[in-house]
Amino acid sequence: MVDDRTARVALTWLAEPGNLPVWSLVEECGAEATLARLLRGDVPDKSLRAAALAKAAALDPRRLADLTLRRADRLGARIVVPSDDEWPSRVESLATLTLEGTTRVHRDTRPPLCFWVRGARPLGETLERSVAVVGARAATPYGLHATNEIAYGLAEQGWTVVSGGAFGIDAAAHRAAMAAEGRTVAVLACGVDRPYPQGNSAMFDRIAETGLLISEWPPGAEPLKHRFLIRNRVIAAATVGTVLVEAAARSGAIQTMGRVLALGRVAMVVPGPITSAMSVGCHELLRSRPDTTLVTGLSNVLETVGQIGEYPVDVPRGPDHARDTLDEESALILEAVPRRGAITPEELAVRAGLPVRTVLRRLSLLELTGLVEQRETGVALRPTS
Amino acid sequence: MVDDRTARVALTWLAEPGNLPVWSLVEECGAEATLARLLRGDVPDKSLRAAALAKAAALDPRRLADLTLRRADRLGARIVVPSDDEWPSRVESLATLTLEGTTRVHRDTRPPLCFWVRGARPLGETLERSVAVVGARAATPYGLHATNEIAYGLAEQGWTVVSGGAFGIDAAAHRAAMAAEGRTVAVLACGVDRPYPQGNSAMFDRIAETGLLISEWPPGAEPLKHRFLIRNRVIAAATVGTVLVEAAARSGAIQTMGRVLALGRVAMVVPGPITSAMSVGCHELLRSRPDTTLVTGLSNVLETVGQIGEYPVDVPRGPDHARDTLDEESALILEAVPRRGAITPEELAVRAGLPVRTVLRRLSLLELTGLVEQRETGVALRPTS
């Protein structure tokens, strides 16, 4: 026999995460007994039985689980199961999620059996106060600006920023949270040892150092297309609410929002120009789902996810430019950057009358919002700003 | 004694339009008897009694009404009262409008006693199928683009476009409707002989020729500030629905939308960039009033105001540029404009393979959307497009 942990790893290999019959069996008789039943073909669901037996014939799942656990250990990844203290209990609400639709993606939305985790922080605590910020890969400068403002601010206020690690809005959300020296969690649809897309690998390494990379799939797992759709339910379930920044019509991020709404979590949507293809999905969602909340920036998001009254509501001002959204320190620093040429952070600190540490911290925000850029000679105003 | 028409003119002079006690008396005993009672101080409302007697002492209201009617006749303006066939019956719903708030602007929202009208079309019929398009004076190019698309399309589909004649969104709505050779009505807060603002006077003359200029105030009346707030209830009540395109926080257009919602009319709001001060009011309204409808363009508006199923719903495409929203004929014409230099409409017709009449008609849309411009030598591409 194998223990609960090993059994869960083996089960995740025999059937994709979220599988309804597997999860029901585990609920009924535990992971070890479920694995034993699958291995002797003693399960009512025909297609699950056939698939599991075929896979088990190719490679003993218990042996595979052992190998995977040892491999993960070498990679610095750990496995987290429901009996662990750091299990993120909020994902258990997937147990009762019901979606309209008859495909497997609609049916197989049960809670994860386990999480693979890279990063030092405890998983449950990190996700306790978390907000997802998701959106289009083909994000526009407008969407990236909105993401920066919201994710930076959330992280600064102590919220963990959760996203999917993709190009565009997802990556901007992770980066902004790290720029604020806050916490961020990337929920992957592949192994935590080979996070996808590779183009973001430097970012993933930084996330593993300061936040968490998590996945339901074992190390080595490929980012197959359908896995993103399975993964999305975790982003929806693990967080207090989700902010959709930009999305084309019928995009993957819209699918995530469907799960957010079905779970009764807060579904926040950033509107945009009606002339932008990347806001079509956002507007469609706002029109079709009255239970979504239109948010115009950080203060709306904090107001929505926070305890009522915990955050004072800003009187709407509607700034026209990125610089108008700056806090006082950032504005002082921006003011101190010379019109031409570059300046070192140390000189900048003197000019702005602020500690160097503060200047360095704020510069990352200014860089993210596209107002300044780092050059070899120091910090300079961006030509367009 | 005076007749009903003259009495209503006199009453509008003795008290501002919408006045609750005056309207109630007229409902009770008719306009002639109400005037007689006001002139002998026989009204329960103290402040109304004092104001009316003071005004009547300065100038006999019956004589003023006579003079005004004759003056209007000379100016080509007519007066329309509820007993006329062309009375726009929809404004009568103001009889039961209740608003939160205790100021006179909140109380004095009763139906008009009469309308002064410049323009040949019958008033009631013109307003029967009408939509208001309103918004900020300090409109952005984005707002003007959205207004052009919506107002042009509404007019082309046979809807009358109603607005307030102001700079910005209002003027763009009137102009776009006229460019589509459709009907437009400007609801003024001053006399129809001196429409405000003067900067739009050429536009007002064109509206009087092709559509209608209407006002509750007699010729010669000044556009006093509070009159715009009184006027707004007519824009809300006379139309099937109102589209708010751009609005700063707490603007006059937002006040109009409050009346639209209180009357149970369709309140449509165009979202915009969260970074634009001119969309702050729109987003605020969408957030605070779940009974508003977010609209992303003409097809959403038609779908909302039209009979269900009367207009097929477009699959959202989210065009990125003004040119992507063009109909086929306009696209052909734009294609035929040379990259450098100008071309006459006649040459353009030959190149595009379309009748000159069609080219002239479509050129006005292309000009409004900023894609082409009229020069002395003919039509040319706009440098920025």
Q: What pLDDT digit, counting tens, does each position of A263-299 carry? A: 999 999 999 999 999 999 999 999 999 999 999 999 9
CA distance B183 to B186: 10
Chain A residues in contact with B321 by the CB 8 A cut-off are: 275
In chain B, % of residues over pLDDT 90: 71
Determine the distance in angstroms separating the CA of A2 from the nearest CA of chain B, rounded to an integer. 53
Chain B residues in contact with A317 by the CB 8 A cut-off are: 249, 277, 280
Q: Which amino acid is at B319?
A: P
CB contact under 8 A, A318 and B249: yes
CB < 8 Å & 24+ apart, contacts of B138-141: B138/B168, B138/B248, B138/B278, B139/B167, B139/B168, B139/B169, B139/B172, B139/B245, B139/B246, B139/B278, B140/B246, B140/B276, B140/B278, B141/B370
Q: What is the pLDDT of residues B244-290, one digit of tens each?
A: 999 999 888 999 999 999 999 999 999 999 999 999 999 999 999 99
Higher model confidence: residue A295 or residue B314?
A: A295
> Contact B315/B344 with Cβ under 8 angstroms?
no
Looking at the domain that runs over B322-381, which CATH code has it been given? 1.10.10.10
The predicted pLDDT at position A316 comes to 40
Determine the distance in angstroms separating the CA of A221 from the nearest CA of chain B, rounded to an integer. 35
Q: What angle do CA A278, A281, A282 make, to 5 degrees?
A: 90
Region of A267 please: left (phi>0), alpha (psi -120 to 50) or beta.
beta
Chain A residues in contact with B144 by the CB 8 A cut-off are: none
The answer to whether residue A317 neighbours chain B at the CB level (below 8 Å) is: yes
Determine the distance in angstroms separating the CA of A198 from the nearest CA of chain B, rounded to an integer. 29
Higher model confidence: residue A130 or residue A346?
A: A130
CATH 3.40.50.450 for domain A117-305:
yes
CB pairs A-B closer than 8 Å: 102
Q: What is the pLDDT of residues B10-36, one digit of tens each?
A: 999 899 999 999 999 999 999 999 999
Which of A205-209, B64-68, B165-169, B185-189 has the weakest average pLDDT? Answer: B64-68
CA distance B204 to B210: 10
Q: Which amino acid is at A193?
A: D
The predicted pLDDT at position A349 comes to 80
Alpha helices in B239-342 (DSSP H): 252-262, 280-288, 298-305, 328-336
CB contact under 8 A, B271 and A272: yes
The predicted pLDDT at position A1 comes to 62
Q: What is the pLDDT of residues A316-341, one digit of tens each?
A: 433 345 565 677 778 778 888 887 78
Where along chain B do its domains lie?
Answer: 1-61, 117-305, 322-381
CA distance A365 to A197: 24
The answer to whether residue B172 neighbours chain A at the CB level (below 8 Å) is: no
Mutation site for A-interface testing, chosen from B275, B286, B287, B288 by largest number of A Cβ within 10 Å: B275
CA A132 distance to own-chain centroid: 6
> Contact A243/A150 with Cβ under 8 angstroms?
yes
Q: Which residues pair with B185 in a beta bridge?
A: B162, B212
The answer to whether residue B141 neighbours chain A at the CB level (below 8 Å) is: no
DSSP string of B50-118, one letter each residue: HHHHHHHHHS-HHHHHHHHHHHHHHHTEEEE-TTSTT--GGGGGGGG---S--SHHHH--PPPS-EEEE
pLDDT for residue A181 is more than 60: yes
B120: enclosing H helix or E strand: none
CB atoms closer than 10 angstroms to residue B342: 18
The predicted pLDDT at position A309 comes to 36
CA distance A18 to B277: 45
CB contact under 8 A, B280 and A316: yes
The predicted pLDDT at position B82 comes to 97
The answer to whether residue B270 neighbours chain A at the CB level (below 8 Å) is: yes
The answer to whether residue A297 neighbours chain B at the CB level (below 8 Å) is: yes
CB contact under 8 A, B142 and A275: yes
CA distance B127 to A146: 41
Chain B residues in contact with A142 by the CB 8 A cut-off are: 273, 275
pLDDT for residue B380 is more than 60: yes
Higher model confidence: residue A349 or residue A156?
A: A156
Chain A residues in contact with B276 by the CB 8 A cut-off are: 318, 320
**Which of B278, B283, B320 has its CB closest to that of A275?**
B320
Closest-approach residue (CA) in chain B for A300 = B287
CB contact under 8 A, B271 and A248: no
Question: Whole-number mean pLDDT of chain B?
Answer: 90
> Contact A136/A168 with Cβ under 8 angstroms?
yes
Determine the distance in angstroms separating the CA of B300 from the nearest CA of chain A, rounded to an integer. 10
CB atoms closer than 10 angstroms to residue B8: 26
Q: Collapse the DSSP code of B340 into the 3-class scheme (helix H, G, I; strand E, B; otherwise coil) and give the result.
A: coil
